[in-house]
Each structure stands twice: as structure tokens, then as C-alpha cells.
Structure 1
């Protein structure tokens, strides 16, 4: 199966067609930045700053301590933290010690946490004091031996660090006291006790696993995606090549998308460390805090998700803030409505382009050009060293231009497979090609378009209906802030189309109004039969709207 790669004709001279591995483990890039930019700020966190030297030294101390507790090459360490300096130190510390990072969502409840710890067989976890009561219960249920505990206040500047417990009490948050004893270890104590030295292992970066990245469990249980040092390093290098006007050692990136999500890990954390950028970290997304941070600290790069950009554009005080420092943003994790892209570019004067990828590809495979030709509605073209084809539903081979089929990708960023899941791996990896489960097409020039997820397609009255197309139309309605479309059970049509809408502030609307609007822009069979207005929509930590959660809700309603 060979594609013609027509998109390479579109590449500007600055973007290479292929990427070469440095054949180094992932932590090598932190070592290099610490040598090249020793006194440069690596992390800014709510007023506290760490230089590249400090980041590297503290990562070495974490590695030293993990090895002193018996961590061997290939042992799994769960990191269950929001975006904060400790998350970055822990990530590189685990890699320097020879461990495999298991990114763990801090929002996980006990059942989800127990499943992931058992599946990955993690023996260590690094987490927040607030989560300690939940995590400590896991010692009896999993192979967990050691718990390393930190608090947000550990890396806050004076006097915020002293005031933090009072703020917690005021917000009715638990204040958890944890002692450094037995198999429970305090992060700050480790920084006092450990030496910045480490026993190094030999690596084969194309084969050794750096990361187990768990995919959302929309089909059965979450699966651990095995990403090698090369998978992640090369995807980060591709990202850097794509943003070729960004200057090494000069940029600052706003880090809101969580590092436990593969998109934030690659496009913020690893990119910053590889290129010597400053990371401006926020532990959670709050529209007002984000606008204040951009206004004051002037980040130049801002990877995000559509819901983040939508929330900022709909902020009542948007015009009070200067966002003109932003030069470019790549949006990921969900489709970017064209309306939002255009408005964001008008407000900031920067570029916002949509990319595409999945956890199984570290994650990015495609993006629109930032400074060259891009096409409305397209996710752009494959990245350097990345190949992509559309597999025809008619004959299973490569589809003709503009013919719908499943997107398949291959490249050095594609995973080694799913952890301990041979059958599931064989289902999606065919002769080096990764079957994405996304339906789309490629035009004559090599631009790719995602029509929908295979599993999100609605079949109503025998018609194939793609929710994304309907969402694009509804997003153009002046009263709409957010929208998601889903297929819900229908005794007559099999499924019927339902739109869940969040209106902009101080707006009111009726189903009749939207029905009339949709009929002007969509074929009759695509027009939603039901409209539901909500104050908010269920979302993942990275801001992706959870269509599945809404479908499950409907099924429960019907069952009752």
C-alpha cells in the first residue's frame, strides 16, 4: 500500500520532508537545554520560576531517589498531577531513572485508578496531597509500593505558599497532612535528601518504551499505548519543524492543556524542553485567569482545544485584555469550528490552525500550514516522515481523491502497540499502518478532511449522517456558544439526530428557531429532530466534549 504523497509539493522550503532520529533517550533534550540555556527560565508557575539548570538538577534528584528505592529499567511509575513544576520534574526524573512514565488523570475515581495501576503494574505513584486519601487505598488493591506526595504550595512563591492552606479551607477543600515515613515520601524532602546523580542505562530509543499513555475507554476498558523514546522525540521534532518561525530559546508557551494528556505532553512540555522555551503553567483552565496570564506574561505560543478558545472569545471582559503576543496556536483534541478560528485570529492577530492526531501516534499526524495555504474545514496535511491514506469502503484499497473511507497513518511516531493487548494491537496495526477509526477523505492536493469517528456516525432511516457537519452549521448561528450532535435511539428511524446546545450569555432561543435555521443549511434528513439547551456540556480534562456521555444518558433514560 503506497500513497503518492501529493502534499509534499505544498511544503515550504523551511519544512523538511523527513525527520531523523537523534538515537537518544527522551531526557537527552533536557540535558542539552540545561547546557545551552543554563540560566534561562524553563518554568513559570503562578509567580515561581525555575531555570533549566534547576529543572535538570531536580529531575536528577528525583531519578536518584527512585533508583535508591529500587526502581529498575522498565519499571512503571504513575504520575498523577496537574500542570505544575512537579509534573515536569517527575516526568524527566522517571525517564532519567530508567522508568516508564504512566500518565494518570488526577480526576480518576478509585475504580478507574485501580484499573490503570493494575493494568500498568505501576509500583510507584507521584501524586498530590489532596489525592493521597484516594491513592493510599490502592496499596491493598494493586502492586503499588511507594507513594511520593507533593502539594501545589511546594512550588508556589512566598507568600502564596504560606497562604495556600487558608485558601484551601476557604474553598472547602480538604487539607491533608502527610508524613515522610515508610513507603510514603514527600517531594520536598526528596529534593533535600537526594543527590543529582544517576546510574544510566543503555537505550534503543526506537524500541524502549518511554510512556504508557492510556486512551479513553470509549470502547471497553482504556488501553495503555506504548510510546517509545523515538516515537515521542520525533513527534516533538516534527512539531518544532512545523512551527519553523519560532525561535529556539526565545519563545514562551502557555501550558493549560494537561500534561497527562498526550497532546499537552508533546506540544507544550516536550517541545519547550527540546527548544529551550519558557513554559507558563496553569494547573487548571479558568477563562479569567487565562486572559490575565496572557495579558501579563505575553506567551507567544498557545496550543489548546476548541472549547478553550471558545470560552475565551465569549468572556464578557475579553476586550480589556491584550492578547497580541500570541503568534501561533495549533488546536487539537476535537474539531475546530471555522467561525472560532477566524474570530480568534482577528482578536489576537496570531495564527490558529487545526491539527489532527491520536494517542496512538504520540499524538500528531496532520496539521494545517501555519503561514502557508490552508483550507477551511481541513485538518491539513501529514507531517514530515508521516504517510497517510484513505482506505476505500468499496474495495479496501487506497481511495480516489474525495472518496470517503477510513484514515490510516504510518510514521516514526506510531506506537509500538497496546500494553499487554496483542489482539487489540493486531486489530489496528496492519503492516506498519495504524487504522485510526476516523472517516475522512483527501482532496487532489493532499489536504485531509475528517468527516467523523467511525463509531460516532449516525445511521438514521438508512442514511449515514456525520455529526461534525451538523455541528459546523450550528456553530455559525450567532447565539451558539457550544454544540454537540449525537445519534440517539429511535424506534422508527433506528437513530435520530439530537443537538445539545449551550447558548452565549444573555441569549435565549427556541427549538423552532434552530429547526428553521438548520433547514436552510442542511438536507432534511440531517436536520436535528430534537434540540436540548444546557448550561454546560460534559467534557474531558482537556476540554473535549464527551459525546459518549450524552449518548449513555439517553440510553439510561430509555431503559427507565
Structure 2
């Protein structure tokens, strides 16, 4: 790994590749190709436009986009002028988007035309000054290959929004030269949560992104000849890191809007994909597909995956190896506050049940839950704490939360783990109350805040319960206002929630209660509710 005093922002690697290999494929999207020269020039054009609109170093620009080339163009264009990318989940509804945009104090947002109605509803209550829209059609060939997974609607224009395709067509690639400090300047704010409170914006630097890209590339042996299947959401830190690795090495990304086994198998064979990052249910869906045996997987050499929904086992890995010629392995341990990837599994040294070893330059300790200053020996379980060049600068505008999590350069993760005698890290669970639904992070207070907006809800408490499909599902305990006690059902409240919250977030189960367990100071005791649910399972 290169010296911590060397290196440059990732967009400068993009510039270098564009000069050395201008015609090399950078992104392939359903048959539409962007070369490195294309990607560099288009992101320069977008950077120039933003600067002309008064966006300056340190300003925040929200990206409310699914996987598409426009996300990548805007991501690097924003960072080229020292502005800060604020990814927003494209599944957000009005209130969720409003919260995140306001917390960011974002001046501008780029959104898909199909998502504009959500932005339109939220905008009057936000700091947004500039709205830019784009359409899938702008970066798709006439006949997408493989079949595009969404119904392609006619492109929509809005009088209060600027069209991205017009910007990329008419503005020059005269990108302003902005002085950047790779170690100090924030380039990305991703939202996460501790054990309490609403989602918090973790401030990540250009160095954080570079360091983790280098770590993955070196641990996995990625290089410029690699063709990477980018199927994870790039608005999330794991998908974003995988994207960054390709542009760091000068490789090619085959970008899919969303997963279907048919599309994944098609592009692996068609584009001779060499490296992939998946979640286990994706691999299982391909293994069980009736046409999988007819697909040529011989180009694949590395497939890291994450145990969301289905736990990776050696049996599943062996089934994948029988089909493709390579095994699967658990990708990593990490969190948003460290740009993820604190420990990585090397393909040549797989140990099932673990998350690999700390990458070079990363220190990980296991501390006692009872004596927080006491480091525990090998084999003992405690809190995972991390220190590395990937550690964030803190939470946006939340000094108290920052001080609790970031102490003397160490991130106190709130996660439980242990090391074995070979130096492999085991992730054993979360101290935090965060819920993982289908790979997405769900924060209890976030759901509670939205639920409490319903006129019938007096108060609520949210926990995660086991779910065979999603890993965990959201269950809400609700106290109704007296006037509504006999006029609304749990099912009606679930349907209301489905309309108001992202699909991964809304409660699948609601139980009405007369009261909720609390401390003497009035703090919700979600753990009591969780223990009650566990007891029900044991009784059954």
C-alpha cells in the first residue's frame, strides 16, 4: 500500500486513466459504453456547471439516484470542485428525503425524473436551491442488452428543474482548478446511526476513499484488466467502494440498475466479468436458476459476498464453485464511519465464519464491555474498535455524537467481535439497535419519527425481529391516542406506513400496546421489547 503522504483524490486517477487510455471502457450500462475519456469529460462538464451556479468547495450536493451512469458522472463532478456528495437512498419517501437534505444543508440535488415528485413535495421545507433531473433514457441504447428491469417511461421535463443531459451537452469541460487537501477535505457524507438518535452524516475525506480503494485492490489483486460486475447500490458505502476500486485501478465496470439472475448471468458471460461483489441471496438465485448450467462463468476469478438475508456457508460456496469454478467468501467487516472494509478476506486465504483480517494500516482491538479501557485477549468477545486512515472526521454538526464514537482516533463501533489465533476477525452481533433489513440499515428512531406523524399514533417503539427472507423485519409497538383506539387496525397502519416509508423500512408487524417500557427518565427500553419477542420464540 502506498505511503500515507502520497496519493491523490480518486477523480485524479480517473483523469490519469483518461489521458493514458482514453478509449478504454470505463462503464458499460445495458449496452451503452462510456470510455474513460467520456467519463472524465462529462464529469468536468458537470463540475463546470455546478461552479457556475455558485456551488463551491464544502457545499453539499445530494444525489437521489439509483444505479446509472449519471450517478458516477455527478459523483466525480461534485468532488472535482471540492463540493461534497450526499447520497440519498432512491427508495426514500418525502419525509425521509426532507430530513436528510436538511441535515446536509444541501444546496442542490440531482434526481431521476421518475423521482422528481418526491423532491417536489419535500423541496419547500428544505435548503435546496437547485434541482437537476435526468432520465434512464439519456444513457441507455435504443435496445438495452440485457433487458432493462424497469418500464422505460417517456422522459419527463419539469419547469422548476434543470435537465442534466442539456448540461452535459452544452457546458464546456473547463473544470475549475480547486486546491484540495486529501487528508482534511471532506468529499462524502453518508448517513448512519449509533445506538440512539436519527441518522447521522458521517464525514469522509478524499484520503478515506483512496485508502480503502487501495486496500481492496491490493488484498484482492484487482488490476486494470478486470471487468467488475457492479450490482450493489452505489449510493451505499459498500457499493460505492467497489465502484471506486475500479476507477482506482483503471478497470471496467459493468453497471446494473438492479439485480435479476438473468441480467447478472447475461453480463457475466457477455462482458467476460472477472470480479463481482454480491449478497448471498443473489448467488443462491443464480445457483437455482434453471438455465444457470448453460452460462459460461469461466471468466470469473473473484466473487466476494455479504451474508445479508442468507448466511454464507461452505456448502453454498461449494455449490457456487461447482457452477462457476470459483468459491465464495465473506467480503469484509466495516462501517460507514470508516468507509467500510476494515477487515477483508483474501481469496487465497478463506476462513468461513470470519470477516478476514485487518487490512494493512488498520488497527482493530477488542475491548471489554465491562471495562472499556481493557483490551481482551484472543478468543474473548467484546466491542470492536478501529483506527486507520479510513476513519471519518466526525458526524456533521453533531459534536456530542462524534465524541462518543470517535475517541483518540479510534472508532468505537458498538459491534461485538473477537479474534482467533490466526488473526481473523469474527463479527458476532450489534450492540446498537440498528436493524438490518435486506441489507439496508434501518434506524428505530427514524421509523418511530415517521410513525408518530400518523394522527392516531401517540407514541411508538421499533425493534428488529428475525425474518427468513430479509434477515430482520421491522416490528413496531404502538400506543394509540384514546380517540382512535377502536377505529384503526394494525393492518391499516402498516398500509399507511408502506405509502410513507421506503420499502425496506416500513413495519411488517405492528402490535398495539397501552404503554411502552421506559426508564425513570422516560427513555424507551427497546431492549425489553426485544427480549419479550425472543421469549415468545423460545416458548414456541
Alignment TM class, shorter chain as reference: 0.7 to 0.9
1:159-198: per-residue Cα shift (whole Å, max 9, x none)? 559x99xx97xx5x8656215x5x5211111112101011
Once structures 1 and 2 are overlaid, which stretch shifts more, 37-46 or 292-301?
Answer: 292-301
> Are 2:271 and 1:297 equivalent residues in the alignment?
yes
How far is 1:28 from its partner? Answer: 1.0
Whole-Å separation in 2 of the counterparts to 1:290 and 1:139: 36
Structure 2 residue aligned with 1:411? 388
State the Cα distance separating 1:139 from its structure 2 match: 2.6
Alignment partners' CA distance in 1, 2:24 and 2:234: 21
Counterpart of 1:99? 83
**2:452 — aligned with what?**
none
Aligned to 1:145: 129
User: Which whole-Å deviations, capped at 9, do the CAs of 1:451-505 have from their partners, x for residues lacking one?
Assistant: 1112469xxxxxxxxx99xxxxxxxxxxxxx9xxxxxxxxxxxxx99754359xx
Report the alpha carbon displacement of residue 33 of structure 1 after superposing the two structures with TM.
1.3
Of 185, 190, 200, the residue aligned with 1:208 is 185
Which residue pairs with 1:27 in the alignment?
11
Deviation at 1:405, TM superposition (A): 0.4
Question: How do 1:32-111 residues align onto structure 2 when only pairs under 5 Å count?
Answer: 32-111=16-95
Secondary structure, aligned partner of 2:328: strand
Matches within 5 A, 1:116-155: 116-155=100-139
Query: Is 2:285 the partner of 1:314?
Result: no
1:279-298 alignment, distance < 5 Å: 279-298=253-272
Contact 1:43 1:85 in 2 (8 A): yes
With the length of structure 1 as denominator, give the TM-score of the two structures.
0.76
Q: CA RMSD in A?
A: 3.1
Q: Does 1:434 align with 2:411?
A: yes
Partner of 1:276: 250
Preserved CA contact (<8 Å) 1:63 1:96:
yes
SS for the counterpart of 1:64 is helix
CA displacement at 1:154 relative to structure 2: 0.3
Tell me which residue corresponds to 1:243: 220
Distance 1:291 1:388 in 2: 37
How far does residue 364 in structure 1 lie from its aligned partner after superposition? 0.9
Residue 200 of structure 1 deviates from its aligned partner by 1.4
Corresponding position of 1:177: 156
The residue that corresponds to 1:471 in the other structure is: none
The yes-or-no answer on 1:379 pairing with 2:355 is yes
Of residues 325, 336, 350, the one that matches 1:359 is 336
- Which one is further off, 445-454 or 143-152? 445-454
CA distance in 1 between partners of 2:155 and 2:192 (Å): 30
Q: 1:43 to 1:497 in 2, by over 3 A?
A: closer
TM-score, scaled relative to structure 2: 0.78
Given that residues 21 and 234 in structure 1 are in contact (C-alpha distance below 8 angstroms), is that contact kept between their aligned partners in structure 2? no
- Give the Å deviation of 1:311: 2.5
Give, in angstroms, the shift of residue 21 of structure 1: 4.5
Match of 2:235 in 1: 260
Cα–Cα, structure 1 residues 262 and 84, in superposed 2: closer, same or farther, change >3 Å?
Answer: same
- Give 2:174's aligned residue: 197
Q: Is the 8 A contact 1:295 1:323 kept in 2?
A: yes
SS at structure 1 position matched to 2:414: strand
After superposition, the Cα gap between the structure-2 partners of 1:218 and 1:253, relative to the gap in structure 1 and judged at 3 Å, is: farther
Query: Conserved in 2, the CA contact under 8 Å of 1:64 and 1:194?
Result: yes
For 1:364, what is the secondary structure of its paired residue?
A: coil
Match of 1:395 in 2: 371
Query: By how many angstroms is 1:559 displaced?
Result: 6.7
CA distance in 1, matches of 2:514, 2:37: 59
Instruction: Give the corresponding residue for 2:427.
Output: 450
Q: Deviations over 1:88-137 (max 9, x none)?
A: 10101111122100011111000000000000011111111101111122
Deviation, structure 1 residue 399: 0.4
User: In structure 1, what is the Cα distance between the partners aligned to 2:273 and 2:514?
Assistant: 49
C-alpha spacing 1:497/1:357, structure 2 compared with 1 (3 Å): closer
Go from structure 1 to structure 2 and tell me whether the alpha carbon gap of 1:217 and 1:295 turns closer, same or farther (over 3 Å shift): farther
Long gaps (5+) in structure 2: 440-462, 471-502, 516-540
The superposition leaves residues 62-99 of structure 1 with CA deviations (integer Å, 9 ceiling, x where unpaired) of: 00111111111111001111111111101011111221
Whole-angstrom CA distance in 1 between matches of 2:48 and 2:464: 56
TM-aligned CA deviation for residue 310 of structure 1: 2.6
Gap change, CA 1:203 and 1:319, over 3 Å in 2 = same
Q: What is the rounded CA distance, in whole Å, between the counterparts of 1:502 and 1:139 in structure 2?
A: 35
**Whole-angstrom CA distance in 2 between matches of 1:159 and 1:498:** 43
Structure 1 alignment gaps of length 5 or more = 1-15, 458-466, 469-481, 483-495, 504-544
In structure 2, what is the Cα distance between the partners aligned to 1:207 and 1:158?
Answer: 44
8 A Cα contact 1:327 1:351, kept in partner: no
In structure 2, how many angstroms separate the alpha carbons of the residues matched to 1:136 and 1:498?
35
Distance 1:387 1:123, change over 3 A: same
Q: 1:160 to 1:498 in 2, by over 3 A?
A: closer
**Count of aligned positions:** 457
SS of 1:147's partner is strand
C-alpha change, 1:356 and 1:220, in structure 2 (3 Å) is same
Q: 1:383 to 1:497 in 2, by over 3 A?
A: closer
Distance 1:175 1:158, change over 3 A: closer
Shift of 1:313: 2.3
Whether the aligned pair in 1 keeps the contact of 2:216 and 2:344 (CA below 8 Å) is no
Does 2:297 align with 1:342? no
SS in 1 for 2:213: helix
